[in-house]
Amino acid sequence: MQSFRTELENPLVEKDIIELEQKIRLFREGQIPDEKFRSLRLARGVYGQRQPGVQMVRIKLPYGKMTLQQWKRISDISDEYSTGNLHLTTRQDIQIHFVSLERTPELWAKLELDDITIREACGNTVRNITASDKAGIDPEEPFDITPYADATFRYFLRNPICQDMGRKFKMSFSSSDRDTAFSFMHDIGVIPKIRVVDGKEVRGFKVMLAGGLGAQPMLAKVAFEFLEADQLIPYIESVLRVFDRHGERASRHKARIKFLIQKIGFEEFERLVKEEYKAIKSKSVPVDAAAWPADALPAEDAVVPAYTIRDPKLYEAWKKTNTFEQKQKGYYGAYLRILLGNISSVTSRALVEQLRPVVADDVRVTVNQGLLLKYIKPEHLPYVFSVLEQHNLAAAGFDSIADITACPGTDTCNLAISSSTGIAVALEDVINNEFPDLIYNNDIKIKISGCMNSCGQHGLAHIGFHGSSMKAGGKVLPALQVLLGGGLVGDGVGRVADKVIKVPSRRGPDVLRSLLHDYETNGNSGELFNDYFDRQGERYFYDLLKPLTDLTSVKDDDFVDWGQAQTFATAIGVGECAGVVIDLIATLLYEAEEKQVWAAEALANGAWADGIYHTYSSFVQAAKALLLDENVNCNTQHGIINDFEKHFVDTGKLDIGGFKALVLQINQHEPTESFAKQYFAQAQTFYKAVQQYRQTKTEAPAAASV
């Protein structure tokens, strides 16, 4: 592949991109194992697709924000390197698909020209930090959480403590007690609070810890009812350090923080977090919210071209369901329903140019795969609608039951079992054609995932579906697991949906019809769907839907999934969200040496805390290499430290003193210059001892055979 050089102003970013290009070349030359390379590219937002030979690139948009220029840049990038489609995700990212691996460094460099990153968008890292899309304009917010979400994103980007954890880590910032960023389903989710102390208002957050969806959903626990704002980032840093050291690394399905707390208990986890406080980089991280840049508002004297509204009745419905008055009086926000989260680059560029005069330079991707436009004057709402109408984006019912969330499913994902997108379109057709008034129902949410991993967030839906399979007559047919009763309660409280029944995928529309007709008939006046579900009970809905599971009457069409032409067959690939366990001795030793190089660079720049953590990682990687060479399982970093003491120090194989005490100095000292340099020197000495042991061991069999 041909090398290139970037012209970026940020040397850290430029180094990142050049390193990716170099590692791709080494991988193609066979010098980096596939498993190691997969881990590396995932941390750079490059994700393998279901289709061999091409990549999905995930573009990281902190709290879902993009400027109009960034939106245009992403659109241009999709045309040049992808298919001209922008896929909006439930984590407020944008994904583009079918990208050549060799072109990803160049793609990344062009994105960074407008301050857009793909760094840590995938892999065992801190993923995109999500937030309520209304943040900053929410009439119910106690204060704007945007500066705090942004500071958190920047603090942990490229932070050594979270580059290669046992699994991914997700965070969210809600704008109010309505908790529209779903704090209860995140590793850390926060809700803004204000307390009055000595007559002064103090900003802080309710902190929720260790929630998650996936195959084994768990609701988050309350870590703090109120944590002062300057203590939030230090607390998160301590949590991440504990997760990195004690989190599972061998079993992918037990590697999230919720399982660590389930294993050791909440009290023990809190004790470990407090133990880290002495060693963290900053004991207080204040955020100067007052200095946060003001929104770039549209011009006061904006002039719009002549326009026509083709469907005045639809305009009134759209205005009622898709717009709201901001806390800034005289301005409105307007939501766009984006079917399946897919919007073309051509449409995107047209919207940027046509809407630029009348919207703020701040567009938000929403958690249900839509878009939010801000700071629209009421007199400009008709014009905005007319533009959307031109591009078939004027559908009413944003965030209603008709606005279905779905992951890409079998279209591109390795893990998907059955189609998400095809069934989502079929269900929206049922609502639009048979229950049109439900565009005004914002109570019920429908969410669909292609598998149990819940990228479509089916686990928190009132009516959820995830892809599955069934057997009939010796053949396999696509199926949907039906879940009911999930949803948002507020202020950190949520509900996980119950699995009710599995049906053939082709009967998904009949499931929805049965549920909605029964709700219409048997629901009490004004009764919310989840209250109705609780009153009737899970068994009631199992019995209601049981006739749809009858496989004695399956037809040929039942064996063909939605949107497909071929007979269904399960074809699950290797998942990449969690990265992999690396068990190659030479690779681990190479990594240990590489981390010492990074530590030396950090120390040279006076970044003592970063240097210390790179040094710690070097200790662990080198120890892991020798343990694996002795066929000792390595599940956690803490386990590696203990096992190395047991198998190499206590047995006298390596005369290095107490290894555990040596390594765990990391949380016994302030991150000072003197400790950083001392710790680094000790790591260098240890690494030389490891190399010498390996050399002696490999030479002994050779000598014996002479």
DSSP secondary structure letters along 65-106? EE-HHHHHHHHHHHHHHS-SEEEE-TTS-EEEEEE-GGGHHH
User: Of 564 and 145, which is predicted with more confidence?
Assistant: 145
Per-residue confidence band for 35, with pLDDT thresholds at 50, 70 and 90? confident
Same domain, 175 and 151: yes
pLDDT at position 70: 98
At residue 363, the 3 state secondary structure works out as: strand
In a domain, 575, yes or no: no
Whole-model pTM: value is 0.92
pLDDT in tens, 270-282: 999 999 999 999 9
Same domain, 246 and 324: no
Same domain, 473 and 608: no
pLDDT at position 657: 85
If phi over 0 gives left and psi between -120 and 50 gives alpha, with beta otherwise, what is residue 42?
A: alpha
Residue type at position 327: K
DSSP state of 665: G
Q: What average pLDDT does the segment 15-22 reach?
A: 90
pLDDT for 398 beyond 90: yes
The rounded distance, in Å, linking the Cα atoms of 266 and 261 is: 6
Containing structural domain, residue 321: 312-390
Q: Which of 112, 138, 170 is at the close of a domain? A: 112
pLDDT at position 550: 92
The rounded distance, in Å, linking the Cα atoms of 438 and 433 is: 10
CA 58 remoteness from chain centre: 10
CA neighbor of 567 nearest in space, from 480, 509, 506: 506
Share of residues in the chain with pLDDT > 90 (%) = 77
What separation in angstroms does the CA of 256 have from each of 126, 127, 463, 552?
12, 13, 26, 41
- State phi, psi for 405 to the nearest 5 degrees: -95, 135
Same domain, 165 and 54: no
Task: List the single range of 16-20, 23-27, 415-419, 424-428 with lowest mean pLDDT.
Answer: 415-419
Inter-residue contact 152 to 176 (CB < 8 Å): no
In a domain, 175, yes or no: yes
Q: What average pLDDT does the segment 293-318 reach?
A: 93
pLDDT at position 584: 62
Share of residues in the chain with pLDDT > 70 (%) = 96
Instruction: Mark out the alpha helices in 221-311 (DSSP H runs).
Output: 232-246, 257-264, 266-276
pLDDT for 81 beyond 90: yes
Residues facing 471 on adjacent strands:
476
In a domain, 299, yes or no: no
What separation in angstroms does the CA of 470 have from each of 248, 458, 559, 570?
32, 19, 10, 10
The rounded distance, in Å, linking the Cα atoms of 435 and 513 is: 9
Q: What average pLDDT does the segment 228-234 reach?
A: 98
564's tokens: 């497909």
Same domain, 409 and 536: yes
pLDDT at position 363: 98
CA neighbor of 272 nearest in space, from 241, 227, 229: 241
Same domain, 508 and 430: yes
Q: CB within 8 A of 177, min separation 6: which ones? A: 140, 191, 490, 491
pLDDT at position 252: 79
pLDDT at position 333: 98
CA neighbor of 422 nearest in space, from 412, 410, 414: 410
pLDDT for 152 beyond 90: yes
The CATH number for 87's domain is: 3.90.480.20
Task: List the single range of 52-56, 408-412, 511-515, 528-532 with lowest mean pLDDT.
Answer: 408-412
In a domain, 506, yes or no: yes
pLDDT in tens, 424-435: 999 999 999 999
Per-residue confidence band for 7, with pLDDT thresholds at 50, 70 and 90? low
DSSP secondary structure letters along 675-704? HHHHHHHHHHHHHHHHHHHHHHHHHHHHHH
Per-residue confidence band for 579, with pLDDT thresholds at 50, 70 and 90? very low
Greatest mean pLDDT among 233-242, 298-307, 692-701 lies in: 233-242
- State phi, psi for 91 to the nearest 5 degrees: -105, 20
CA neighbor of 694 nearest in space, from 607, 600, 590, 562: 590
Half-sphere exposure of 96 (CA within 13 A, CB side): 28
Same domain, 539 and 647: no
Half-sphere exposure of 394 (CA within 13 A, CB side): 23
Per-residue confidence band for 484, with pLDDT thresholds at 50, 70 and 90? very high
Same domain, 600 and 553: no
In a domain, 265, yes or no: yes
Same domain, 136 and 274: yes
Inter-residue contact 243 to 278 (CB < 8 Å): no
The CATH number for 622's domain is: 1.20.120.330
pLDDT at position 415: 77
* Helix and strand numbers, DSSP H then E, in the chain: 20, 22
In a domain, 2, yes or no: no
Q: Which of 541, 559, 577 is at the close of a domain? A: 559
In a domain, 123, yes or no: no
The rounded distance, in Å, linking the Cα atoms of 299 and 190 is: 34
Q: CB within 8 A of 354, min separation 6: which ones? A: 387
The CATH number for 472's domain is: 3.30.413.10
At residue 204, the 3 state secondary structure works out as: strand
In a domain, 118, yes or no: no
pLDDT at position 706: 44
Q: Where are the beta strands (DSSP E) in 377-530?
A: 405-406, 446-449, 463-472, 475-484, 487-490, 493-495, 498-504
pLDDT at position 701: 54
> Strand 323-325's sheet: what is its strand order?
65-66, 363-365, 371-376, 332-336, 323-325
At residue 462, the 3 state secondary structure works out as: coil
DSSP state of 212: B
pLDDT at position 403: 95
pLDDT for 578 beyond 50: no
Q: What average pLDDT does the segment 679-686 reach?
A: 96
The rounded distance, in Å, linking the Cα atoms of 613 and 105 is: 27
The CATH number for 366's domain is: 3.90.480.10
Q: Which of 544, 559, 574 is at the close of a domain? A: 559
Inter-residue contact 396 to 439 (CB < 8 Å): yes
The rounded distance, in Å, linking the Cα atoms of 305 and 298 is: 15
pLDDT at position 6: 55
Give the count of domains, the chain: 5
Same domain, 536 and 647: no
pLDDT in tens, 91-116: 999 999 999 999 999 999 999 999 99
Residue type at position 329: K
Mean model confidence pLDDT for the chain:
92
Same domain, 164 and 278: yes
pLDDT at position 487: 96
pLDDT for 4 beyond 60: no
pLDDT in tens, 214-223: 888 999 999 9
Per-residue confidence band for 700, with pLDDT thresholds at 50, 70 and 90? low
Q: Where are the beta strands (DSSP E) in 30-74?
A: 46-48, 55-59, 65-66
Same domain, 105 and 134: no
pLDDT in tens, 608-666: 999 999 999 999 999 999 998 888 988 899 999 999 999 999 999 998 889 999 999 99
pLDDT at position 5: 54
The rounded distance, in Å, linking the Cα atoms of 511 and 583 is: 46
